[in-house]
Structure 1
């Protein structure tokens, strides 16, 4: 049996295509509704409205090697006016302002938005997605380090280690439900 020659291809998508994909999948109205439900709306007019911060958090995962300010600038330039509603002379906020905006948003809003939007996407034509008429799903888990703080240690704890020693960081245990045909994470649980 001969193996077929293959090479790994790293796809490079233009920012415009990625921003269009975000706008297509996540409508501004769903974000606004989620922010209202979680109490994450701003009480006063800010340079970084909560809806834009949601898009920034998503975009930061797509362009993880870029500076937050650059990601935000590209995001504002690429999103439609329905999303941003920012003035003509908008200036990119400092990195500390961006961090504060992310803290104001909190994780509850992003978690709620994830559960509203994410769903299996495979069709009958997707290779490996169905077996005997049933959707093939997989459960996987991973462990992530979190900053070594008393609060994180209290919530997540340290892994076991030799007697008299302690691991360097508290660990978050993450269990994922994944659609096998698309490799899409459709649910997640933090343990």
Structure 2
């Protein structure tokens, strides 16, 4: 489930809202990008990454069709996450843990699949929960920005059909705009 909190401002946004379908609601995305769905280990990790160092910022949008789209800019620092590379390694481990749990039936009928076609060094996954009613599909991707931060983007879609935006497109936009985004202080 995406985290929905009260919005707080940034100097610029990671996503181009003019390129999104009709937005019904804007919410704070500092706890992580939507798309994790049933992957508890990744949801928990995103919360930990959000507090790795000061400056995490993001936004989420609930679209008219109820898809949730968002982006988060994580700031590495201290402890277990001194750089974006360590954050990406932790993300891969969390997804592996969720996949193993799903294979054991811990999440009902659920799958995770890697996303291809992302920029070099980026990782992304599509999570599907057929046990949800309606079926929920979430896609999420992460990449290191030019200045060493980590950007995460995602979209959660419920029901038939496909999500109204592609996570690869969200990642491209967020990477282009990340340099102009100042984190909270």
TM-score (norm 2): 0.27
Higher helix fraction: Structure 1 or Structure 2?
1
Higher strand fraction: Structure 1 or Structure 2?
2
Structure with higher Rg: it is 1
